[in-house]
Amino acid sequence: MYYDDMSLSFSGSFPFRADGHCDTLTAMKAGRNRHIDPETLARYMDLQFMALFVEEDDAVKAAAVLDELYLYYRTLLTEEYGDLWIPLKNGDSFARLDRDNIGVILALENCSALAVAEDEVYDAYDKGFRSFGIVWNGRNDFGSGALSEGGLTAAGERLLRTLNRLPAAVDLSHMNERTFFDALDVLEYPPIVTHTGCGLVHPHVRNLTEDQMKELRQAGGIMGITFVSQFLGPDPANVGFDDIIDHVLYASDYVGIDHIAFGSDFDGADLPDEMTDVSRMAALYRRMRERDFSEAEVRMIAGENLLGYMKATLSREET
């Protein structure tokens, strides 16, 4: 049982559990989700970023895909999971959470669709999006991803300046280094990198370099350590909990233990055999305790850091 597992690691109340990234909504629509059962998610998580992933970098094509995905999400929310999923849109809405439901941060992964018109970002915000991942791996109208060249465009700078005026998180995941640093020069509030790893442990193109981690800390941002096998080590078939924890340890030296969270990428990638699904989170927490993390440190990484960041982000006044 989940609660029995947690009692082995924590005294008193259970920790707040949060995850900065999953592709479950997109995977469900495609009929291939395997890591998260939406009906039982609240047993294992209290706050879940749920991304609508748009692979297309062409604005018009991306907008059509996003409209279809958003309609699917709204249908799920109103017809199937309305009593279980609580969309979090402002700082006060966190008070609605309890052990029988889960807070959802609706996230846009790849903002290419927002380039079809100047006011699209406001439309997305009105629909409930509260996390905006500007690029994916390629290049869109706003900037360049990890597998492309170039930096933030003029349109990208305008988008970020608009997001500066909204109480929403800006996600720097998938950016190449140039776009990453360009974005930090424009942003006025702490950003988040929802699902990444530490390049000092494994120098994958999607992991952050030492300089990126230092600048993220300077900006007061959050780094979400992912479970993607390819990001964890050179032999993806043989990675596990200890590899995830190694990324946490090295990243915390540069970003700070109070700026580290988890960004699983459930239902979006291949994960270690030890992390078969979301129910295994308790075992990861327990392994962290065995690796000499204090209970307070595990609580911070398990959810308190991400909770505090999102409360502060969604409590900002719209300007």
Bridge partners for 131 per DSSP = 107, 169
Superfamily of domain 15-314: Metal-dependent hydrolases (3.20.20.140)
Beta strands in 45-202 (DSSP E): 47-53, 85-87, 102-109, 129-133, 169-171, 192-196
Cα 151 from Cα 235, distance rounded (Å): 31
pLDDT score recorded for residue 71: 98
For the cut 90, the answer to whether the pLDDT of residue 6 exceeds it is no
Question: Which SS3 state, helix, strand or coil, does residue 225 take?
Answer: strand
208-263 pLDDT per residue, tens: 999 999 999 999 999 999 999 999 999 999 999 999 999 999 999 999 999 999 99
> Which pLDDT score is estimated for 1?
35
pLDDT in tens, 290-306: 999 999 999 999 999 99
Rg (CA), the chain: 18
* pTM, rounded to two decimals: 0.96
Helix (H, G, I), strand (E, B) or coil at 82: coil
